Amino acid sequence: MMRRSHQIPRIAFLLGAAGALPFLALAAATVLAPPPYSFTAEILLTGYGIAILSFMGGVHWGLAMRDGRAAQYGVSVLVALYAWPALLLGTAGGWLYLAAGFVLLFGFDAWVERRDWTTAWYLRLRLPLSLAAAGSLAVAALLR
């Protein structure tokens, strides 16, 4: 069981917010920037989405290393395997696929939180970050 502090550590908040900025900026660039910059932003948004979704799955690997929970080991690997095919789905399709991945992973995070397998603040941090990631990807897909 994790220590149940309810306050989001400042460093986690700042780094999480910094990690959301590329989603917002790249999604805007895919819609607003002229070619070839918009094309570059499309590639970067897809790659960043895959990397961050995989990273978020990796959080569960770290938790599982401490507590040995098979569900978290499994999900950590499945998230990376899920994210990778976004490269094959085309730009808008890949972004919607990744957005769905962030929503699904948030659901698992909520399940984990209800079992006290993480800190008390983790889900409160994940909600706005998941909304920023999934929302940016979805908006870019719909406006592209």
pLDDT tens digits along 102-121: 999 999 999 999 999 999 99
CB 76 within 8 A of CB 58: yes
Mean pLDDT of 36-51: 97
Task: Tell me the domain boundaries of the chain.
Answer: 10-143
What backbone torsions phi and psi does residue 34 show, to the nearest 5 degrees?
Answer: -75, 155
Q: How far is CA 64 from the centre of its chain?
A: 19
Instruction: Encode pLDDT of 62-80 as tens digits.
Output: 999 999 999 999 999 999 9
81 C-beta neighbours (distance < 10 Å), count:
10
Mean pLDDT of 19-48: 97
